[in-house]
Amino acid sequence: VPLEAGILHPSHMEPFCSGPAEDTVDQELLPVLEAAPAPEPPDPKTCSPREYLEYYVFPVLLPGLAGLLHEAEKEKCFEGRRTKFIALDFLTEWLYNKNPKREDESFTEFFSIPFVKDWLKDHPRPPIPLSLLLSEEEASIIIQSFWRGYRVRCDSEIQQLRQWQKRLREERHINKVVKKFWTKQEAK
C-alpha cells in the first residue's frame, strides 16, 4: 500500500461543527464518510481468518467489551488492585444473553447458564475472600470492633476475670459436664 493512500487530503475533509458557525475556524477536520454499499459477508467456512474475525466475531464481541468496560468502571476495578468483579463471567453472561438465537428468552444470570452449571460441578471455584465482598464501611466496622475488643481484653481487670474463668473451667471440669449433658439430651 503506498504511503499516500493512508493520508487524507484537505479536499476529502469537512469541518466538524458542534457549535455556532463562527467557531468553525478552530474545529478539527474529520474525514467525510461516503455511503458505500455493504459488502456481502464471506462464507464462514472458506473465508480467511481476518475476514472471519471482521465479519463474524468483532461485530458481536466489541459491544460486549464496551459493556465490560462500563461494568468494570461501575465496580471500581480501575481504582484498586483486587476486586470481586470477574470480567470473564460478565462477558460470558453478556454474550449468552445477547445471542440472537435466544432473543425471545428472558435474562439468565451467570450461575444459571446450563454450561456454566455443568463446568462448575466438575471445577468448583474457591470462595471469594471476605475482603473483596465487604464494602469499605463494613470492613472498617469489623476492624474497629476487633480493635475495641483487643483494647478491652488488655485491661488488667479483664485479664484477672478471664484467668479466674479459666481456672474455674479446669477445676470443675466444665468440658466433661457439658459432654455428659449433651449425651443425656441425645439419649432422650
- Tell me if 10 is assigned to some domain: no
- Residues facing residue 31 across a β-bridge: 13
pLDDT the model gives residue 117 = 93
Domain that holds residue 171: 136-187
179 and 121, same domain (yes or no): no
- Tell me if 28 is assigned to some domain: no
pLDDT the model gives residue 161 = 93
- To the nearest 10°, the Cα dihedral for 90, 93, 97, 102? 160
Give residue for cell 464494602.
135
β-bridge pairing 29-31 and 13-15:
antiparallel
Among 80, 102, 126, the domain boundary falls at 126
Q: How far is CA 12 from CA 6, 19, 24, 46, 110, in A?
A: 12, 22, 17, 36, 48
116 and 153, same domain (yes or no): no
56 and 121, same domain (yes or no): yes
73 and 105, same domain (yes or no): yes
Q: How far is CA 57 from CA 37, 54, 162, in A?
A: 21, 6, 67
- Residues facing residue 14 across a β-bridge: 30
* Interatomic CA distance for residues 77 and 86, integer angstroms: 10
141 and 181, same domain (yes or no): yes
Q: How does pLDDT run along the chain (188 residues), one tens digit per residue? A: 444 444 444 444 444 344 444 444 444 454 555 555 667 888 888 999 999 998 888 988 999 999 999 999 998 888 878 888 889 999 999 999 988 888 888 999 999 999 999 999 999 989 888 888 888 899 999 999 999 999 999 999 999 999 998 888 888 888 888 899 999 999 98
Q: What single letter denotes the amino acid at residue 24?
A: T
Among 126, 153, 175, the domain boundary falls at 126
The domain total for the chain is 2
SS3 122: helix
- Tell me if 93 is assigned to some domain: yes
